A and B are shown apart, each in its own frame.
Chain A
Amino acid sequence: MKSEAEVRPRAFRGLPAFLWTEVLVQIHEELAMATSMMVQAVLLVFVWVLNPGLIGVALVGAVLFSMFAMGQRVLNEAAYIRIDHKVSDLYLASPLSAEAYFLGMSAGVLLVYLPPVVVVGVLAAVVIHLSLVEVGLLVLLAGTVWLTSASIGYVFSTAFRDNRAIWAYSSLFFNIFGVLPPVFYPFGLFPAYLRPVALLMPPSAAAALVQWAIGVTVLTRPEVYLASGGLAVEGLGLFLFAVYWARRTVRGE
């Protein structure tokens, strides 16, 4: 009889296999893929009809919001697998490690839902005439926003016991943090006394940094440090917490 330490899979064991499994699952969700850009499309239509001059900023915001909204997909998927399909126990009874389950699911969602985001990103690059450095910054920040929101989504998913309640809560969370702060509109339009808060929220911090890089928004040096430092700490911190949480909730470690 092996001890618990001996049967515990090594860190991230099974990641490529589960990532591929998740890609195959997600790629058959044509309807979910079609609706993945719905909120972004609505807000872009608002801007296009009511204030076309802001369309460049809104396109950058759409890229960052899309990466943030992938956390909602991770939340839905993790909850569905556990509550509706009841196969999470099966996956996790296999040699697949808990953190590979979380990261594989998140990366699978990312791969499948990325193409429309790339299209919006290309549109943004064309409309605003982004340089290569600015494109690189946008990609880096979008990646950090994804890591943060995927971690939040996975951790939140473990709190649900009822599929019917997921939509209301997840929609509320991701819309409050993704639409209310200055993601789709210039940072300067946000109330001055709330700007430090916006710089601590992942999607608006990333949007503010891109807007600052392309000259749409003026940020002071401390604001740049707050946004970039906050984003880095939140991204890494929440990822490590999600890994810890995945291990703890799944294997009772």
Chain B
Amino acid sequence: MDAVERAYPDVPTTGRALPAFFWVGWRWISRNPAVTITPILLPFIFLYFLSLISPPSYRPLEIVGAMLFTMQNIGSWVLGDSALWRIECSLQDLFVASPLGRVRYLFGIAFSNLIAMIPALVVLTVLLAWVGGSDGHPLTVYAGLVIVASLGVLWVLFSSIGIAISSRVRTQREIWPVGNITFTTLGMLSPLYYPLSALPPLWQGAARFLPTTYAALLAQGALGITPATPDQMLLYGGLLAACAVAGLLITFRLYRWGEA
């Protein structure tokens, strides 16, 4: 990089990456409206299906689950974008040669995909406030903050998982199945759409190793859907943070940036 600066002193070496990626995200959804509709409709299709087969008391829990599942699926979209740009557009070489580091690149792609998910999250939040309020689980400021914090942790963690996997994908045809199998499996193993206690003991044990489980327990506890003491909430928060840190360490080991 020093050599580049010496050779081309007038070339800017800093820039505003996030606004640029915001435009990438906005252009993508403005040109392909279905990209926005799909993440909104898919959780609703699941919610509709669940409303037919599960007790009505589970509805707030299922809406929170849909919010967490939507946020987790950003990882799949980050994987898709990053792999497509690297494999088909050969754009990653350009980013690697630029002053943009790999962490800013990760946050840029994660941010651009968050833009496409925001409409779904807003609709689900309104629905949660409405259904939760009528079912005795109001969306208080405290509950809102806990949910936003949980969603934020999942956003960073699953985006980094997505980009780490994308850097290992070799062909375009692998992108969709790899993303689908990784993120759907992680989502289904966690108690997003059902209480942890409804799962068989072996499954409950496996779910306790996943960060999404603690995000779900935190959100359910804050809303009063699954009762939790303040100490339990602190424990869930700590375990979510620990899982996220462990996950980030692993994904940053896997994440290839500018390597052959």
Contacts and interface: CB of A to CB of B under 8 A. Distances in A.
Interface of A: 29, 31-32, 34-35, 38, 41-43, 45-47, 49-51, 54, 76, 80, 84, 163-165, 167-169, 171-172, 175-176, 179-180, 184-185, 189
Given A29-B173, A31-B178, A35-B181, A185 B198 contact: no
B184 A38 contact: yes
Contacts of B38: 168-169, 171-172
A80 B37 CA distance: 23
A51 B193 CA distance: 13
B49 interface: yes
A185 B53 contact: yes
A163 B173 CA distance: 10
Contacts, number: 94
Interface stretch (B40-48, B101-109, B121-129, B144-152): B40-48
A163 B172 contact: yes
Identify the 6 closest CB pairs spanning chains A and B, nearest first: A31-B177, A50-B54, A51-B53, A35-B177, A168-B38, A168-B34
A50 B172 contact: no
B225 to A, nearest CB: 15
A165 B34 contact: yes
Contact of A46 (B50, B80, B180, B181): B50
Given A32-B173, A35-B180, A84-B172, A171 B42 contact: yes
Contacts of B52: 185, 189
24 contacts: A29-B177, A31-B174, A31-B181, A35-B177, A42-B184, A46-B50, A49-B199, A50-B55, A84-B88, A84-B172, A163-B88, A163-B172, A164-B32, A164-B80, A167-B80, A168-B34, A168-B35, A171-B42, A172-B34, A176-B45, A179-B46, A180-B45, A185-B49, A185-B53
A34 B55 CA distance: 32
Given A165-B34, A171-B42, A179 B49 contact: yes
B192 to A, nearest CB: 11
Given A54-B53, A172-B34, 20 more contacts: A31-B181, A32-B177, A34-B177, A41-B188, A46-B50, A46-B194, A49-B199, A50-B50, A50-B58, A50-B198, A164-B32, A164-B80, A167-B176, A168-B35, A172-B38, A175-B42, A175-B45, A176-B45, A179-B45, A179-B46
B84 interface: yes
